[in-house]
A = this chain, B = another copy of it.
Amino acid sequence: MTQPKRRPGPKRALSEGGVLDAALTLMDADGPDAASIRRIAAALGVSPNAVYTYFPDKSAIEQALVERLLGELNRAAYNGGEWRTDVEALALDLRSRLTAHPGAVPLLLGGAMNGPEALLLGERLLEVLARAGLPAEAAARAAYLVMVYVLGAIALEVADVPQAGALAPEPDRIAARRAAMAHVPAETFPRTAAAVDVMSGWIGTEQFLWGLRRVLDGLTRGPV
């Protein structure tokens, strides 16, 4: 029950968590670039440099933000049943948390996957995959592969959000995608044009799960 270890100086007007809250809110509302230090400070009613009391620089804010999102994911329960359904649940959970905050995705892929929560996520994934009966080396490689797929799918899914914060509802996004693809010239891209109808499921939960299941199939049914 250690006290917060008060040291001299005036009471803090902000908190690390409050800064992250403000950053996330701004990002969700006006895109990733809206989470600037100056705007965060303005939203909190302090001068820009007050933020530097809580984080040494902007990259520390980004790192902490990613860690918070991954931490929430890691704290969420997963049932511990069949390993495939556990992997799917974990992947779907990560996906829904990241698509809820599209601005955070570039941070994840930009190298912020090194904190303790990222390690813990990998550990959890390893635990689940261990139950698939894979040899140790294959399990480690498999965890990385699953991570690559999940993050790649989310990144591509989030990539073509105009620049606003939150993603549109899934049916709207599918319709927009289909409309965008409707104009591909069939003479130069015959196969792509022919696939437009099929692609209605792209960038949707269904395609995400389909791909994940193919990956898991490849892990268990492939040679060696």
- Encoded as 1 (CB less than 8 Å from any B CB) or 0, chain A from 125 to 147 comes to 01100100000110111111101
Is there a chain B Cβ closer than 8 Å to A215's Cβ? yes
Apart from A114-B180, A122-B192, A213-B222: 5 A-B pairs, beta carbons within 8 A: A109-B109, A111-B161, A126-B191, A148-B211, A218-B218
Enumerate chain A interface residues (CB-CB to B < 8 A).
106, 109-111, 113-114, 119-120, 122-123, 126-127, 130, 136-137, 139-145, 147-149, 151-153, 155-156, 159-161, 180, 184, 188-192, 194-195, 198-199, 201-202, 207, 210-211, 213-219, 221-223
Which chain B residue lies CB-closest to A148? B152
- Distance in angstroms between the alpha carbons of A117 and B156 in the assembled complex: 17
Task: Verify A155–B151 contact, CB threshold 8 A.
Answer: yes
A214 with B210, Cβ < 8 A, contacts A110-B159, A148-B156 known: no
Copies in the complex: 2
A207 with B141, Cβ < 8 A, contacts A109-B156, A219-B214 known: yes
Task: Verify B109–A141 contact, CB threshold 8 A.
Answer: no
A38 CB to nearest chain B CB (Å): 18
- Distance in angstroms between the alpha carbons of A156 and B77 in the assembled complex: 26
